Structure 1
Amino acid sequence: MKAKYIHTNINVFDLEKSLKFYEDALGLKEKRRYEQEEGKFILVYLTDGQSDMEIELTWLRDRKEPYNLGDNEIHLAFRVDDFDGFYERHKEMGCICYENKPMGLYFINDPDGWWLEVVPADKH
């Protein structure tokens, strides 16, 4: 028996804002979406176009306030081919929330406060 890891879910408060962020910050594109028949929720699957792994953004119609992420001790990580270029883009976007210079990586926040680790191609 085998299991294949296919996606990670993130609930988002403002779907359009999140879609724009993930495309601008990381180049992720919408691969497919599912809109619940009664409009109660929308699922959008994002891809980097290189791997099988996807991020599932879930928007819930009845959600009235941003999500409480608690201590936010979880994150997603992205290996990038142009670390300096991504760093400058993220600096301009104002989304860098933590830098770990000794380890040669940094983190950005998405619009809901989720942490995303950015790692150069020659690390990890």
Structure 2
Amino acid sequence: MSALTIAHTNFTVFDLEKSLTFYTEALGFQIVRRHEAPDGSFVLVYLGDGTGGHQLELTWLKDRKEPYNLGDNEIHLAVTTDDYAGWHNRHKKMGLNLWENEAMGIYFVADPDGYWIEVVPEKMMD
């Protein structure tokens, strides 16, 4: 039997355009595909990092009237980079909400809905 392959992670978002701006401008992700329900009740947008593989699916629901309650928000998406300092400086200059763990050499940046994105130096993943 062949192994299962992770296809995507889903975040349900309140303001799709605001979220798309964050993921494309702050993280450099690209829109891979978009699906809109014929009745307009939902939109799915799949984002990728340009390497193929795992994608982030953003789901927007038309009838949602208030932001999502993420509870204790222990959910996060992790990304790696070989230019940790460059991305860290970019996110600071953008005025994004950062939580830094200098002892571990990582930081988290919050998206518009409050989901945390963990930024990890590539060398830590070796």
AA aligned opposite 1:101: E
2:51 alignment partner in structure 1: 50
Q: How many residues of Structure 1 are paired with residues of Structure 2 in the alignment?
A: 124
2:70 alignment partner in structure 1: 69
Query: SS at 1:113's partner residue?
Result: coil
Distance (whole Å) between structure 2 residues aligned to residue 79 and residue 67 of structure 1: 27
Instruction: Show CA shifts across 1:29-87 (max 9, x none).
Output: 10001100000000000000114000000000000000000000110100012111100
Q: Which moved more, 1:91-100 or 1:70-79?
A: 91-100
1:34 alignment partner in structure 2: 35
AA aligned opposite 1:57: L
In structure 2, list runs of 5 or more residues that go unmatched.
none
Contact 1:108 1:116 in 2 (8 A): yes
Distance (whole Å) between structure 2 residues aligned to residue 87 and residue 53 of structure 1: 23
% identical equivalent positions: 58
Q: Which moved more, 1:30-39 or 1:90-99?
A: 90-99
In structure 1, list runs of 5 or more residues that go unmatched.
none
Query: SS at 2:46's partner residue?
Result: strand
| TM-score with structure 1 setting the length | 0.96
Contact 1:25 1:90 in 2 (8 A): yes
Give the RMSD, CA atoms, in angstroms.
Answer: 0.9
Runs of 4+ in 1 over 3 A off after TM superposition: none
The correspondence of residues 10-29 of structure 1 with structure 2, limited to 5 A, is 10-29=11-30
1:88 CA displacement? 0.7
2:9 alignment partner in structure 1: 8
